[in-house]
Amino acid sequence: MNDKRLDSLKVAEASEAYGTPLRISRIKLVNYKFFYGEFELLVDGENLLVYGENGSGKSSIYKALELLTREKIENLAEDSRNIFNETGEIEIEFGFTNGTEFTITEDTEELPDYVDFLKGLSVFRPMLDYKKLLKVHYSEKPGNKEINLYGMFRQLLKDYPIDNETVLSDIKDLNKYFDELKKVVDGQLLANVNHLMHSYFDNDIRIDSFDYKVIIDDETGGAEPVINMIIDFKENQIKNYHSFLNEARLSALAVSIYFASIKRLIGGLEQESIKLLVLDDLLISLDMSNRLKLLNILKEEFTDFQIFFFTHDKELFELYKNKMDWKKFELYLDDSEDIHKPILKSGKSEIERAKEYFAKKDYDCCALLLRKGFEKILKSYLTPREQLDKNCNDLDLASLVGRTITKSSGENKSILGKLNSDRKHILNPLSHNDNRPVYSEELKQAMTDLAKLKKLLK
C-alpha cells in the first residue's frame, strides 16, 4: 500500500456519517483505459448526465464505477492500462461527500473497511446497460421458442440474503435453490415489476408467473435448470413473449425487472450503503415516449439514489438535460495528435451561458441564447403534437408562446406574458441587425424570469 492510500485512511471515521445521503463528489482516472495521464470529473454529489461520442472515454468512466461493485478487485493492470502508457501507475480515485477518499491501484484486492458504505453495491449491483436488458428477451440458442431466464436471475440475485450467513448463490441443491428463489421472485419482486410496468410503461402487459423446471440438454445430455416467464397481454397468456411483443415493450419489461430487483436487493441490506444507479446507453430501443417514461421512474422511484446516466445519443442528452437536476457534461474525442485525448465540455444551459455573456457585456449573444433557451423550455413543456400547427408544420416562437399561455394559469401565465413582451422588444431585436438601444436591466430581468419559468414548467 503506497503513501497516498495510507493518507486516505485518516478520514475513515467520516464514513460513519449516514445522517445525510452519501454521494460521490469526484472521480479521478490516471492512465486508466482510454485516459492517458490524469482526467478528473467533478460531480459534487449531484446526479450526472454524460453525452459521449464513440471512443471519447464514456465507457471507461462506466467501468471505473463498476469496480466499486466488485467483492474483489483483481488483475487491474491486465486490461486496464492505457495503451500509450506502459509503465505509469494506474489509479482510480473516488472522493465522497462525507470527506472520504478511496484510491484503487494495481495493488488493491478488495474494498477496505473504511469504505464499508460501498460494500452493499456488490449485492444490488446498480450497473445496467442494454446488453443486460437483452438477457430478458434474447436467446443465445437459435430456435429456442422460450427464453430461459435462469442465468439472468442466478447472476442478478446471487447475493440475495437468505439468512444471516447464507445468500442464494451458496445453495448448491437445485431443488432447494428453486424453492428459495421462488420466495424472492414470486412475491414482492413480481408485484414491483408489474407496478413499474403499469405505472410507467404499459397497462396491457403484466407478468403472470414464472415457470421453474429442469430439462435434459440435447447437446450435453446434462440437466439444465430453466425459468420461463409467462406474460399476460390484454388478459391473454403468452409464453413466447419475445417473438410477440415489439422491441420497445420488451425493453420496458426488462428495465422494470432490473429496477425492481435493485430496489428489492437494497431493501434487504443490513448495513447502510451508498445508493448509486449507473445506466449506460440503456434506451437504444426505446421510442421517445418511453424515454420520457423512464425519466419519470428515475425521478419518482430513485429519488434517494445518485444517478449516473451515460449516452452516445445526443438527441436523448438534449431531451434529458433540462428535465432533471444533474451535472451535465459532453465528451468528445481529440484525435489531432498520436495520443487520443478527451475533450470535456460542461453541458451548461442556455441561461447559464447567457449570464456569462451578460457579464462580458456581450448583450447580442446573451439575447440570442435567452431566445433559444426560451424556445427550448416551451418545447419541453408542450407535447410534440402541440408544437405543430394544423398542417403539421413546426410552430414559430411566437406561436409556441401563445399555445403555452393557453395551457397555463396563475404565475406561469404572468411570467409568460412578461417574457413574450421581452421577446418582442429585447430578444428579437438583439438577435437580429437592429440599432435600437439596449436596456441591460430589462435583459437581466428576462434572465431571472426565464430561470423561474424553467422551474415552474418543469
Burial (CB < 10 A; 0-12, 13-18, 19+), residue 278, is: buried
pLDDT average, residue stretch 260-289:
82
* Closest among 379, 358, 374 to 415, alpha carbons compared: 374
Phi/psi zone of residue 97: left (φ > 0), alpha (ψ -120 to 50 degrees), beta?
Answer: alpha
Question: Where is average pLDDT lowest: 4-18, 68-82, 86-100?
Answer: 4-18
- Please report, for residues 50, 134, 279, the alpha-carbon distance to residue 130 in angstroms, rounded to integers and kept in the order given: 16, 6, 9
Cα separation, 195 vs 177, in Å, equals 26
* Strands 127-129 vs 205-216: parallel, antiparallel or unpaired: unpaired
Domain assignments of the chain as residue spans, ordered by start: 3-119+276-346, 132-263, 350-457
Q: Is the pLDDT of residue 354 over 80?
A: yes
> 49-58, 132-141, 229-238, 348-357: which range is least confident on average?
132-141
Rg (CA), the chain: 26
What CATH number does the domain located at 3-119+276-346 have?
Answer: 3.40.50.300
> Does 249 have pLDDT greater than 90?
no
pLDDT at 151: 87
Q: Is the pLDDT of residue 353 over 90?
A: no
> Is the pLDDT assigned to residue 14 strictly greater than 60?
no
And the C-alpha cell for 124? 444490488
In this structure, what C-alpha cell is assigned to residue 89? 501507475
Cβ–Cβ under 8 Å, residues 233 and 203: no
Residues 381-438 pLDDT 10s: 888 889 998 888 999 888 998 999 998 888 888 889 888 888 887 777 666 665 656 6
Per-residue pLDDT, 41: 92
| The predicted structure's pLDDT at residue 95 | 94
Give percent of the chain with pLDDT exceeding 70.
91
Tell me the average pLDDT across 343-352.
Answer: 80
Predicted pLDDT of residue 1: 37
**What pTM was estimated for this model as a whole?**
0.74
How far is it, in rounded angstroms, from Cα 320 to Cα 50? 10
Average pLDDT (311-315) is: 89
Per-residue pLDDT at 285: 63
Order the strands of the 205-216 sheet from edge to edge: 205-216, 223-233, 236-238
Is pLDDT at 12 greater than 60 in this prediction? no
CATH class of the domain defined by 350-457: mainly alpha
Distance in angstroms (rounded) separating the CA atoms of residues 382 and 35: 41
Q: Is the pLDDT of residue 83 over 70?
A: yes
Residue type, 260: A
pLDDT at 143: 56
State the burial class of residue 218 (Cβ atoms within 10 Å of its Cβ: 0-12, 13-18, 19+): exposed
Average pLDDT over the chain, rounded to an integer: 84
Amino acid, res. 182: K
Percent of all residues in the chain with a pLDDT value above 90, rounded to a whole number: 28
